[in-house]
Amino acid sequence: MNEHARDGAPYLTAEGLMARTGGRELQRVVFGAEAIDARVREMGAEITGHYGPDDDVLILGLLKGSFIFLSDLVRHIARPLHVDFIVASSYGAGTTSTGDVKLLYDPTAPIEGRHIVLVEDIVDSGNTINRLTRALESRGPASIELCALLHKHIAEGLVLEPRWVGFDAPTDFLVGYGLDHAEDFRHLPFVASI
């Protein structure tokens, strides 16, 4: 990586970055750790303000990509809530969506009558969201909202537009802060292109 490595500060020195990537070069930091932190705080406050005091809120994280985003986000939501996860898979080891979304784990938490916040790392083709939204809607939630860290704005016919978006993303393939390429790079504290 080039001079942009500084955007990942204060969590990572150039040596720390090399240690985490095994020496593989990233192209550039697209969203630095400090920018992500500031935006995630804002999103937490927005979600806090969106719901009434008696609403039964379930934060549903889409694994694995949302695991860091969700864990930071819920610490900035100042109201009672529950957390559960869904595991879906659409990419395999490639960098383009296969369009074939598999549901590998279903939440144990009940959905009926509850306010669901589906937490995604990134909205790309929209296949995952379209498939999951339909599956969840059939279980009678009080509402479903989508909260995505990143949105590429290339999806056609999204059945649910995200109410909360961290950042509009370039169409490059992005890694870090939960996002992977063939399972690598999830643990980077910033989002970079490869």
Active site residues: 124
Residue ranges in 49-68 that form contacts with Mg ion under rule CB under 5 A? 65
Interface size with Mg ion, residues (CB under 5 A):
2
- Min separation Cβ 112 and ligand IMP, Å: 25
Helix (H, G, I), strand (E, B) or coil at 148: strand
Both tokens of 187, joined, read 């643990």
Q: Which residues contact 20 (CB under 8 A, 6 or more apart)?
A: 12, 185, 187, 188
CA angle 42, 115, 176 (to 5 degrees): 45
123 binds, among Mg ion, ligand IMP, none (CB under 5 to 8 A by kind): ligand IMP
Q: Which stretch binds Mg ion (CB under 5 A): 2-10, 45-53, 90-98, 100-108?
A: 90-98
Distance between CA atoms of 53 and 152, rounded to whole angstroms? 33
173 binds, among ligand IMP, Mg ion, none (CB under 5 to 8 A by kind): ligand IMP
Report CA 140 to chain centroid distance, whole Å.
24
Nearer to ligand IMP, 45 or 154 (CB): 154
Relative to beta strand 143-151, strand 115-123 is: parallel
72 binds, among ligand IMP, Mg ion, none (CB under 5 to 8 A by kind): none
- Min separation Cβ 188 and Mg ion, Å: 14
Q: Which residues bind ligand IMP (CB under 6 A)?
A: 62, 65, 90-91, 97, 120-128, 173-175, 179
Segment 156-163 long-range contacts (CB within 8 Å, at least 24 positions apart): 156/126, 157/126, 157/130, 158/123, 158/126, 158/129, 158/130, 159/129, 159/130, 159/133, 159/134, 160/118, 160/129, 160/130, 160/133, 162/120, 162/123, 163/50
Nearer to ligand IMP, 33 or 62 (CB): 62
Nearer to ligand IMP, 36 or 51 (CB): 36
- Min separation Cβ 4 and Mg ion, Å: 23
Nearer to Mg ion, 111 or 128 (CB): 128
Residues making contact with Mg ion (CB under 5 A): 65, 91
